[in-house]
């Protein structure tokens, strides 16, 4: 009898414990899927749609009256003037950016709900977990990336193999799986600088290789959408004692592309005595249209070219520096489809050394340029470099300078791109922590140069972002390289950033 009572007591205790665990699980489940939360979410989304609808009606009215609604910029303090139904408790959570309602509140749940709506999230994004790890155990650096026509990506990376630098083209699907990887090694060290996906899906890459005489010479390769090689160009050295560097690939209005190379001549003291842009153009199938057209400064200066973009009117703009009389000055040269120089802008500056390194373009043709200015051209001029962003109107030559507050030192800006509603993304490097820790620092600017937000990498971790693409209104795909520890090799990666 005592034994039965003992067993009953044990069963009772176990039953009570199970009931407590089940009760806790139910409470947790209710907390995570609370009817109150669901109701709050539904109310929040309904209210946001009401705000957006009223703003959309104002935009339609503005457009009918000849006013560009995308120019509307309104702070939280004045938002009720444009959205009369907004609740007083919501006024500090929103502003209007480029004519669009933007959420700037700090509530994490509301931020997630906003990302599910067709509403701009005005907060700085955060990096999501790394999607594609390095495919090698040794140092691998990323150079550039582009979106493919099926929603995936193609990246170009490089890695040293048995003392020689190899370039790699990596095809990644929309789910971030590595589909194919091509090892590109031509003669000696091979490096790719830029990649372009054409309208027919073909993939063009440009860079340089060291020829048998160890002289850099520009290269271009064209691949099918599945990375089968279609065409290979190893451009001849332009003239005796010249080098040729592959700089960029620029889309042309007819759906083809232009390869931009920099031809430079050095004397025995390694000083540049001649420099110009050398361009080749092709259709989307790789048939050559232009062959080694020289683009020079209009005022007889030497043209060291770094980047180029195509404009909405069909012209192509190149940037770099105009070197003359011992002074390098930032400049832009505009060319037509035949490669003929029709325009040059040379920035007036007191600095003895300056240049434009990266450029992008807005829908109205305004150029956005990364400018480096140095107070000394002796030794390593970058020791005193200051970087800023210039907005250049090529129709009027009016220029607006945006100071991002980047301290003087080695060149920090790594890419400049434009995306949703002409917002500008500047990808830079933060080296303020320690000399051995490099973190990404990304700025979002409006089309008028106002800083929307900045985001910076995690402290104590080297993480360099080299390219950023808009995936959607509130999502960015970033490409870069990181180190797990300060002594680890670099690993190339792809990741998402979402507010």
Contact (Cβ atoms closer than 8 angstroms) between residue 192 and residue 215: no
Instruction: Flag whether 4 is in a domain.
Output: no
Contacts of 207 (CB under 8 A, 6+ apart): 143, 156, 167, 190, 191, 192, 193, 194, 218, 219, 246
* Same domain assignment for residues 94 and 148: no
| Last residue within a domain, chosen from 53, 88, 121 | 121
| Last residue within a domain, chosen from 121, 149, 182 | 121
Give CA 454 to chain center in angstroms: 14
* Same domain assignment for residues 158 and 243: yes
* Same domain assignment for residues 154 and 117: no
For the chain, how many structural domains are there in total?
2
pLDDT by residue for the chain (499 residues), tens only, comes to 444 444 455 544 444 444 444 344 333 333 455 677 888 999 999 999 999 899 988 888 887 787 877 788 999 999 999 999 999 999 999 999 988 999 999 998 999 899 888 899 999 998 877 665 444 445 788 899 999 999 999 999 988 888 888 999 999 998 888 899 999 988 788 999 999 999 999 999 999 998 778 889 999 999 999 999 999 999 988 788 899 999 999 999 889 999 999 999 988 887 889 999 999 999 999 999 999 999 999 988 999 999 999 998 889 999 999 998 888 899 999 999 899 999 999 998 667 788 999 999 999 999 999 998 887 655 555 566 788 999 999 999 999 999 888 776 666 888 999 988 899 999 998 877 766 788 899 999 999 999 999 999 888 778 889 999 987 888 899 998 888 777 788 888 888 888 8
* Same domain assignment for residues 194 and 250: yes
Instruction: Flag whether 195 is in a domain.
Output: yes
* Same domain assignment for residues 82 and 132: no
* Same domain assignment for residues 112 and 207: no
CA geometry: angle at 295 spanning 293 and 299, to 5°?
A: 150
* Same domain assignment for residues 182 and 257: yes
Domain harbouring 264, CATH code: 2.130.10.10
Instruction: Flag whether 318 is in a domain.
Output: yes
Instruction: Flag whether 425 is in a domain.
Output: yes
* Same domain assignment for residues 174 and 147: yes
Radius of gyration of the chain (CA): 27
- Dihedral over Cα of 65, 71, 77, 80: its sign: positive
Instruction: Flag whether 29 is in a domain.
Output: no
| Last residue within a domain, chosen from 88, 104, 121 | 121
Q: What share of the chain is helix, strand, coil (3-state, %, to 5)?
A: 20, 45, 35
* Same domain assignment for residues 492 and 391: yes
* Same domain assignment for residues 254 and 368: yes
Secondary structure class of 447 (helix, strand, coil) = coil
Pick from 232, 234, 227, 230: which is nearest to 209 by CA? 234
* Same domain assignment for residues 241 and 182: yes
Instruction: Flag whether 30 is in a domain.
Output: no
Instruction: Flag whether 179 is in a domain.
Output: yes
What pTM does this model have?
A: 0.86
Residue 265: domain span: 128-498
Instruction: Flag whether 230 is in a domain.
Output: yes
* Same domain assignment for residues 69 and 187: no
Residues counted in the chain = 499
Letter string b/e over residues 154-189, b meaning 16 or more CB atoms within 10 A of that residue's CB: bbbbbbeeeeebbbbbbbbeeebeeeeebebebebb
Q: How are beta strands 367-374 and 386-392 bridged, if at all?
A: antiparallel
């Amino acid at each position: 009898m005592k034994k039965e009572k003992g067993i009953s007591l044990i069963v009772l205790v176990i039953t009570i414990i199970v009931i407590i665990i089940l009760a806790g699980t139910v409470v947790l489940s209710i907390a995570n899927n609370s009817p109150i939360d669901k109701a709050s979410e539904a109310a929040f989304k309904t209210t946001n749609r009401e705000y957006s609808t009223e703003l959309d009606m104002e935009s339609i009215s503005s457009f009918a009256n000849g006013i560009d609604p995308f120019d509307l910029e309104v702070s939280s303090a004045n938002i009720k003037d444009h959205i009369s139904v907004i609740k007083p408790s919501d006024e500090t959570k929103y502003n209007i950016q480029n004519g669009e309602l933007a959420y700037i509140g700090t509530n994490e749940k509301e931020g997630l709900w906003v990302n599910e709506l067709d509403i701009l999230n005005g907060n700085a994004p955060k990096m999501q977990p790394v999607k594609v790890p390095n495919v090698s155990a040794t140092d691998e650096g990323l150079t550039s990336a582009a979106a493919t026509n099926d929603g995936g990506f193609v990246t170009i990376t490089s890695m040293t193999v048995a003392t020689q630098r190899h370039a790699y083209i990596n095809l990644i699907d929309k789910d971030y799986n590595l589909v194919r990887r091509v090892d590109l090694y031509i003669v000696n060290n091979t490096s790719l600088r830029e990649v372009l996906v054409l309208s027919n899906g073909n993939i063009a890459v440009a860079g340089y290789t060291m020829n048998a005489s160890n002289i850099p010479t520009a290269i271009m390769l064209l691949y099918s959408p599945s990375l089968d090689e279609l065409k290979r160009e190893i451009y001849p050295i332009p003239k005796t004692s010249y080098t040729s560097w592959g700089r960029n690939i620029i889309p042309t209005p007819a759906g083809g592309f232009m390869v931009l190379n920099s031809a430079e001549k050095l004397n025995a003291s390694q000083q540049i005595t001649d420099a110009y842009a050398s361009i080749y153009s092709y259709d989307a199938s790789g048939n050559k249209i232009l062959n080694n057209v020289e683009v020079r400064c209009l005022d007889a200066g030497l043209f060291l070219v770094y980047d180029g973009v195509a404009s909405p009117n069909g012209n192509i703009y190149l940037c770099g520096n105009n070197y003359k009389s011992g002074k390098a000055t930032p400049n832009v040269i505009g060319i037509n489809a035949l490669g003929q120089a029709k325009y040059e802008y040379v920035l007036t500056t007191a600095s003895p050394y300056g240049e434009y390194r990266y450029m992008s373009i807005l829908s109205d043709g305004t150029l956005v340029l990364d400018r480096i200015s140095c107070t000394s051209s002796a030794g390593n001029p970058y020791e005193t470099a200051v970087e800023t962003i210039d907005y250049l109107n090529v129709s009027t030559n009016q220029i607006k300078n945006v100071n991002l507050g980047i301290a003087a030192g080695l060149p920090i800006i790594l890419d400049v791109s434009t995306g949703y509603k002409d917002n500008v993304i500047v990808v830079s490097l933060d080296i303020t922590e320690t000399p051995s820790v490099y973190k990404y620092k990304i700025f979002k600017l409006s089309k008028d140069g106002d800083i929307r937000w900045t985001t910076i990498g995690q402290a104590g971790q080297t993480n360099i972002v080299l390219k950023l693409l808009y995936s959607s209104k509130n999502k960015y795909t970033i490409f870069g390289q990181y180190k797990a520890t300060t002594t680890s090799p670099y690993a190339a990666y792809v990741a998402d950033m979402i507010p």
